[in-house]
Structure 1
Amino acid sequence: MRAAGFSGSFLGAALAFSAPVHAQAPADADADAEKLPTVVVTATRTARNAEDVPAAIDAVPIDTADQAGLGVNVSEVLEAVPGVLARNRQNYAQDEQISIRGFGARSTFGVRGVRLFVDGIPASMPDGQGQVSHFNLDSASRVEVLRGPFSALYGNSAGGVIQLFTADGRDADELRLGLVGASYGVGRASVNARGSAGLFGYNLDFSHFQTDGYRDHSAARRESGNAKLSWDFGSGSTLTMVANTVYIPDADDPLGLTRAQYEANPRQVAAVAEQFNTRKSVDQKQVGAIFEQALGGAHTLRLMAYGGRREVEQFLAIPAATQANPLHAGGVIDLDGDYAGTDARWTWAADPLELTVGFNYDEQDQHRRGYENFVGEALGVRGRLRRNEINTVDNFDQYAQATWRLAERWSLMAGVRHSKVKFDMRDRYVVGTNPDDSGSRDYSATSPVAGLLFEASPDASFYASWGKGFETPTFNELGYRNDGGSGLNFGLLPARTRSGELGAKLRLGARAALDMAVFRADTDDEIAVATNAGGRTSYRNVGAARRQGAEAGLTLGLADDLSLRLAATWLEATFRTGFLTCTGVPCTNPTTPVAAGTRIPGVPRTDVHVGLTWGGERGWRFGAQGDYVSSIPVNDTGTESAPMSAVFAADIGYGFDLPNGRLRSFLRVDNLFDRDYIGSVIVNDGNGRYYEPGPGRSFMLGVQWVWAQ
């Protein structure tokens, strides 16, 4: 039933390396290094030990020269972080599926409800919609994940924060080359150069990835480049330049499957996917700069500016007859637009008080066009223009954050952010009975947060935090009115959340660390599906929702070369008020009741990751991991669910020194027991195609050569 052999143009050896990346230090690091606390900046905006922060935050180190995996998808890193559900859709036309404590679970493509950053530069647009396709793991040093109330200090749609950091240039110049080849035509090649010359440091990377896809009609290719240049001018003055690009031409979109289709053949696609040749192309280029200056007297100034351009073309599987409606926007989406922003902050740090005050402005100016996806009898080609508009969204936010050591063992962290988000649409398609749908809508909110931390001993800290946040609809969710009329759905309100968290951070000797948290987030005006008709989904506010649960992360050194990582989450996400929703297609009038207490779709109750590694950079290395995810409801009514899954992987590798560097190779087996399972779900799909199957047993072979001067 499965095809597990090597195929495609990358058959053999490989470079790069990334896999379940573990949060602990490498097994052959010295004992003193294992005792060092993790330094984070995402929660506090200045470098601080994670143990001193009253928030759930993880920093996961990334070094593709010291792991065994593909090194393409950020889900490879995030799987070991509690509270985070990161799923590789096996569909590179839709990006990865990421949610934090249930926020962002309803996203059918890209990432929403979670704020994304690369080196301090936003990867989320002002409306909260983001993507991780340009996250370059090959050049990264770590990823930080912030959960809970303090996420609100990052503004709109911050149910959590994920920030990737590119490694600085090293003292000694390095060149890394490598290849990875795997089943289903998967291949990756990369080249990375990093180093320094006096006050100048650099990290340059280019990678090529391609796949034939586990399922039919799921081939994709991605070119990714990332560059980080830094200058240290002395006297506390630094400049960092970051540029990246991602190009994905005509990535096939296999769409989802119904439950019956999945059970009959998980590798198949819906007939309409091939009929309309559903696919997506992305071309994005971005550049940014960060300047920091110590002003003396414990004052520091930080200025950041960035800009980029993103072009997207997507062919959908909407029948030609459906587009006969003069108000229909067609079956081809064509977006191109520029985005830019700036952030300025001043920090004053004089023990026992640290204060940060700043503002940021972001803007996205997007030209959206829609075309018919047919010409005569030919399907899956661009036809007549059906939509033409300019969409602009911007935010202007001001924030302040302070940390105060109240006493020897007590510290208080508090902050507030005021956000204003403005949506504007200028309609350029006024034809026949299609009216001028121009309009604008403003949203604003003030988000306060506070946290108290008690250091019971050098190895045990306890904290409590509380805050308020908000989440506007994205432009995609505003895109269609639920009354069937034309124009944007400006009646949608932002969802507003009050959240609290209690946690403990324990260091159990030199080799063990345990972080635990319990949390609750109550949301008013939760956004959910209103109607499904004509290939379009509209949204509305449905009342109250609650996300509550517990999470734990354990890092344990069992021996000098043996380590264990455990991440576990229990999460109960439910609608707190009943409402009516749509089922089936077409549906323009919600009539199906959703009872209070029904689970929010896309959120499993239980998620557990276990990873075990033995060995170091040199000699033999072995690894094993298991991932368990409980059943996942896929629609608002809770009538269907993806079954629970338990998937295992194992790898073996060997590394040795060369005269001017080192060489590492590995062999990895994913889905070790060849189980059928659902890799991700498409929440509330109007056609009932909720399920995206995960691949069967697959083999991966990789090699990476690191040359050091």
Structure 2
Amino acid sequence: MSLFLRPLGSPRATRTTHHACFAVSLLALTAVLSSAASAQEAPVELPEVNVTTTTPQLKAKAKPQTKAAPAPQPVAPAAVATDSNAGAPSPGDRSGSLSVPTTAEATVDIDRTPGAVEVVPDTAYKTSTPAVTIKDALDYVPGVFVQPKWGEDSRISIRGSSLSRNFHLRGIQLYMDGIPINTADGYGDFQEIDPTAYRYIEVFKGANALRFGANALGGAINFVMPTGYDADLFGARVDIGSFGFRKLAVSSGAVSGPVDYFMTGTWQEADGFRDHSDGESVRGSMNVGYRLSENVETRFYVNANDVDQRIPGSVTKRVALTSPETANPGNITGDYQRNIETVRIANKTAIRLMPGTVLEVGAFNVDRHLMHPIFQWLDNRYDDYGGFARITDESRIGGFANRLIAGVNLHNGSVDVRQYQNLAGQKGDETVATKDTSHNLSAYFENHFYVTPQVALVAGTQFLHATRKRDVDFGATPGETEFNLWSPKGGVVWDVTRTWQVFGNISRSAEVPSFGESVVGGSINIPFFELKPQRATTYEIGTRGGTDDFRWDFALYRANIDNELLCFTTNTNPSTCQVGNADKTIHQGVELGFGAAVLKSLFARGPDPDKVWLHAAYTFSDFRYDGDAEWGNNELPGAPRHFLRAELLYKHPSGIYFGPNVEWVPEAYYVDSANSFETDAYAIWGAKIGFDNGGPITAYLEGRNLSDEAYIASTSIAADMNGSDALMFEPGTGRAIYGGVQVKW
């Protein structure tokens, strides 16, 4: 199925009329639903549930419900896992939706993980940034290195994942409300993510996302939409900025009897900082929940994207630092683009079997069309589908509290691959025709056994059965492969106090090669079906906690990796990533996030004083070969050793805030395994001023890279560049100013 239509030979065909119709339709539907919700007589409200987070990164309480579910009957008290988590709701005992936690509830839940995790609330970025890319949302999560490339696309690496990819994504599993976003063979696209559509974002680093059955070196990211229970009846935002940036978003949410809904739509357009980087997108997301009874809720999801984006391409280091607006000449000649149309539908049903026990079942289908003129004209159609079942149970075993999560996931898909000659952005003769099929079946469990009310021993495992098969009409090599992989995990979580935790774990992870790792020719000439899975054993310890005026999030980790999937492209063609298996590699590092009120009561005293708040995220990354026959103990290319984001913000109780921020990479990092060529160190700074008192109107003005520094944001990687410059580098954006206003009621 396809939501938007365009002539196949004209990926940049004008669709202003389509976008206008979409916006008008969305506004009309919002008005109808809002009116209907307003017209309903308010039903009986759910009992208020106050939830205090154990990690003060939010220090939020679930707000009293202003919207109500169907009048419930009294529910028996649910089992409480631990004394230290007495404020945490048990599964299914939510303050609104039965299946979707609020931000505060999600924070309490995620803090039971024996590893580095974080909940990023929308209040951390929606009201003070244009909220365009995933970088806007995850800038202050330590361990996450994310840089925008062009348009809404970004390059992201968590703990050194996806070093081989400067295009698309691998090594991180993406979810929307716990439902997979990645394709069945493992790749993902951030162009399909609209940060303004989500209530909060959950980040699970490393193998800490076992509650979803996720198991990748970089972990998982779960984007969670609001429901009618925690959404405003109507919201709108307008943002404008440098390089022709314009954005309009509207949303609506409400509860009417047993039904609740949330819907949002965004139109965005930009000329881009670099030549040949203009783009336009229209996105829409919606979920509708129906409370069949006190103990059963079903929720339907629809997500659609129509993204057109020109690609400026990689340039040499010299060009990136002297003329960063310049596009790769070949990208202009071939009119390189990445255009995506996606329709995703899903359902998730939550059933409270008994107090403390909830079963979730669901299914999804994704129709994706990628129109991608690059070195050839790629015209790929994806059909992904799957289902899942997950049970969460909190009970007692021999008088000890116990929490069990177990589930099974099915994720299958096929790609109809068609490649053509790229004749100045138009299709030429067909060169490749294949059918790529992926099947994935995984089963998992994770159990928390509380040996004391404050100490939980955690054990779990995942089993993955995966197959990949390529059927070829012409232009490629057919083949198939199969993987059966076990990944166990053990850990401990100690609640030292109600606001201070210590954790540790040992875990295994596994990543199956995707079709994107297939090599057709080049220096190593390894087809995808000869690649081995990437396996890692990760050791991790850390702590998190804090108070109203101070909080911290600290982790140390080391991953010993076998058969890491890396680029081994030679200097003859550095822009094409030809993937092979390394022998043994090491990823280790330090992740530190903290916030502190360094000054208080400067101009406003009393119970709600003004504050000067220091917010910082520091990541140290030591990624290297481990006694490799060719590369010895060289550093792995593609990520900085030190990365710092920091902000000093004055906050007045009236809602006024302002202050500077900085992004700092103090050391250059290598771009090839031979360690013969590197980027440059850089430091850029910005500032923002805004108003947000929690009321119906917020506004911001933000300046980025105010010194107009020319710097390298990200880079491709190669095997050996022999010390010479090449088309490997993505320049960072120059000086930019953005501003926006949001209204809600």
Per the alignment, residue 381 of structure 1 pairs with 426
Describe the shift of the 1:215–1:237 C-alpha distance in structure 2 as closer, same or farther (beyond 3 A).
same
Contact 2:274–2:312 (8 Å) recurs in 1: yes
SS of structure 2 residue aligned to 1:174 = coil
* Residue 614 of structure 2 corresponds to residue 564 of structure 1: yes
Contact 1:23–1:60 (8 Å) recurs in 2: no
Which residue, out of 115, 122, 130, partners 1:55? 115
* Residue 294 of structure 2 corresponds to residue 235 of structure 1: yes
| 1:564 Cα deviation after fit | 2.6
Contact 1:102–1:547 (8 Å) recurs in 2: yes
CA–CA distance in structure 2, aligned partners of residues 704 and 176 of structure 1: 7
Contact 1:50–1:57 (8 Å) recurs in 2: yes
- 1:44-89 deviation per Cα after TM superposition (whole angstroms, max 9, x unaligned): x988444433111111110489622111211111110000001111
Per the alignment, residue 190 of structure 1 pairs with 249
Q: Higher mean Cα deviation, 607-616 or 566-575?
A: 607-616
Q: Higher mean Cα deviation, 383-392 or 268-277?
A: 268-277
Per the alignment, residue 584 of structure 1 pairs with none
| 1:193 Cα deviation after fit | 1.0
SS of structure 2 residue aligned to 1:149 = coil
Please give the TM-score of this superposition, normalised by the length of structure 2.
0.80
Which residue, out of 311, 314, 319, partners 1:253? 311
Contact 1:28–1:616 (8 Å) recurs in 2: no
Which residue, out of 267, 272, 280, partners 1:221? 280
Pairwise CA RMSD of aligned residues? Answer: 2.9
* Residue 421 of structure 2 corresponds to residue 421 of structure 1: no
| 1:198 Cα deviation after fit | 2.4
- For 1:475-486, what aligned pairs fall within 5 Å after superposition? 475-480=515-520
Task: Give the counterpart letter for 2:267 in structure 1.
Answer: H
Task: Give the counterpart letter for 2:733 in structure 1.
Answer: P
Per the alignment, residue 3 of structure 1 pairs with none
Contact 1:128–1:157 (8 Å) recurs in 2: no
* Residue 709 of structure 2 corresponds to residue 649 of structure 1: no
Contact 2:125–2:137 (8 Å) recurs in 1: no
* Residue 357 of structure 2 corresponds to residue 299 of structure 1: yes
SS of structure 2 residue aligned to 1:159 = coil
Describe the shift of the 1:577–1:335 C-alpha distance in structure 2 as closer, same or farther (beyond 3 A).
farther
Per the alignment, residue 503 of structure 2 pairs with 463
Contact 1:148–1:500 (8 Å) recurs in 2: no
* Residue 552 of structure 2 corresponds to residue 514 of structure 1: yes
| Structure 1: segments with no counterpart, 5+ residues | 1-21, 318-330, 580-592
Per the alignment, residue 539 of structure 1 pairs with 579
- 1:298-357 deviation per Cα after TM superposition (whole angstroms, max 9, x unaligned): 43211011101111111124xxxxxxxxxxxxx111101210111112232103112222
Per the alignment, residue 536 of structure 2 pairs with 497
SS of structure 2 residue aligned to 1:150 = coil
Contact 1:681–1:691 (8 Å) recurs in 2: yes
| 1:443 Cα deviation after fit | 1.5
| Structure 2: segments with no counterpart, 5+ residues | 1-54, 64-84, 90-99, 601-608
Describe the shift of the 1:29–1:443 C-alpha distance in structure 2 as closer, same or farther (beyond 3 A).
closer
More strand by share: 1
Per the alignment, residue 328 of structure 1 pairs with none
Contact 1:90–1:694 (8 Å) recurs in 2: no
Per the alignment, residue 19 of structure 1 pairs with none
Task: Give the counterpart letter for 1:574 in structure 2.
Answer: R
Please give the TM-score of this superposition, normalised by the length of structure 1.
0.84
CA–CA distance in structure 1, aligned partners of residues 414 and 373 of structure 2: 22
Which residue, out of 382, 386, 407, partners 1:358? 407
Per the alignment, residue 123 of structure 1 pairs with 181
CA–CA distance in structure 2, aligned partners of residues 133 and 269 of structure 1: 20
| 1:614 Cα deviation after fit | 3.0
SS of structure 2 residue aligned to 1:260 = helix
Per the alignment, residue 620 of structure 1 pairs with 656
Describe the shift of the 1:541–1:481 C-alpha distance in structure 2 as closer, same or farther (beyond 3 A).
farther
* Residue 453 of structure 2 corresponds to residue 408 of structure 1: yes
* Residue 372 of structure 2 corresponds to residue 314 of structure 1: yes
Per the alignment, residue 37 of structure 2 pairs with none
SS of structure 2 residue aligned to 1:334 = strand
CA–CA distance in structure 1, aligned partners of residues 183 and 520 of structure 2: 19
Describe the shift of the 1:457–1:170 C-alpha distance in structure 2 as closer, same or farther (beyond 3 A).
closer
Q: Higher mean Cα deviation, 342-351 or 621-630?
A: 621-630
SS of structure 2 residue aligned to 1:306 = strand
Per the alignment, residue 322 of structure 2 pairs with 264
SS of structure 1 residue aligned to 2:332 = helix
Contact 2:127–2:698 (8 Å) recurs in 1: no
Describe the shift of the 1:124–1:437 C-alpha distance in structure 2 as closer, same or farther (beyond 3 A).
same
* Residue 638 of structure 2 corresponds to residue 602 of structure 1: yes
SS of structure 2 residue aligned to 1:634 = coil
Contact 2:382–2:413 (8 Å) recurs in 1: yes
Q: Higher mean Cα deviation, 687-696 or 288-297?
A: 687-696
Describe the shift of the 1:383–1:102 C-alpha distance in structure 2 as closer, same or farther (beyond 3 A).
same
Contact 2:551–2:595 (8 Å) recurs in 1: yes
* Residue 595 of structure 2 corresponds to residue 555 of structure 1: yes
- 1:239-286 deviation per Cα after TM superposition (whole angstroms, max 9, x unaligned): 12111111112x111111101222331111222121111112111110
Per the alignment, residue 666 of structure 1 pairs with 700
| 1:41 Cα deviation after fit | 8.3
Task: Give the counterpart letter for 2:405 in structure 1.
Answer: T
| 1:297 Cα deviation after fit | 6.0
Task: Give the counterpart letter for 1:648 in structure 2.
Answer: W
CA–CA distance in structure 2, aligned partners of residues 645 and 388 of structure 1: 44
- 1:154-210 deviation per Cα after TM superposition (whole angstroms, max 9, x unaligned): 345342111111112246852112211111111111111122222322111110111
How many residues are aligned here? 636
- For 1:53-452, what aligned pairs fall within 5 Å after superposition? 53-63=113-123, 67-92=127-152, 95-151=153-209, 154-155=213-214, 157-170=216-229, 173-249=232-308, 251-296=309-354, 298-317=356-375, 331-351=376-396, 352-374=401-423, 379-429=424-474, 437-452=477-492
SS of structure 1 residue aligned to 2:247 = strand
SS of structure 2 residue aligned to 1:269 = coil
CA–CA distance in structure 2, aligned partners of residues 135 and 38 of structure 1: 30
Describe the shift of the 1:454–1:426 C-alpha distance in structure 2 as closer, same or farther (beyond 3 A).
same
* Residue 673 of structure 2 corresponds to residue 636 of structure 1: yes
SS of structure 2 residue aligned to 1:419 = strand
Contact 2:337–2:374 (8 Å) recurs in 1: yes
CA–CA distance in structure 2, aligned partners of residues 183 and 28 of structure 1: 37
- 1:393-440 deviation per Cα after TM superposition (whole angstroms, max 9, x unaligned): 1101111111110113321111110001110111112xxxx6x83321
Task: Give the counterpart letter for 2:586 in structure 1.
Answer: R
Task: Give the counterpart letter for 1:299 in structure 2.
Answer: T
- 1:672-695 deviation per Cα after TM superposition (whole angstroms, max 9, x unaligned): 222111122223399921211112
CA–CA distance in structure 2, aligned partners of residues 111 and 394 of structure 1: 19
Contact 2:164–2:565 (8 Å) recurs in 1: no
- 1:551-594 deviation per Cα after TM superposition (whole angstroms, max 9, x unaligned): 11112234334333211111100011335xxxxxxxxxxxxx5x
Contact 2:210–2:444 (8 Å) recurs in 1: no
Contact 2:124–2:137 (8 Å) recurs in 1: no
Per the alignment, residue 6 of structure 1 pairs with none
- 1:526-547 deviation per Cα after TM superposition (whole angstroms, max 9, x unaligned): 2222445777543221200101
CA–CA distance in structure 1, aligned partners of residues 282 and 127 of structure 2: 21
| 1:456 Cα deviation after fit | 2.6
Describe the shift of the 1:137–1:127 C-alpha distance in structure 2 as closer, same or farther (beyond 3 A).
same
Describe the shift of the 1:483–1:260 C-alpha distance in structure 2 as closer, same or farther (beyond 3 A).
closer
CA–CA distance in structure 2, aligned partners of residues 336 and 500 of structure 1: 40
Task: Give the counterpart letter for 1:646 in structure 2.
Answer: A
Contact 1:171–1:196 (8 Å) recurs in 2: no
Task: Give the counterpart letter for 2:617 in structure 1.
Answer: A
* Residue 572 of structure 2 corresponds to residue 527 of structure 1: no
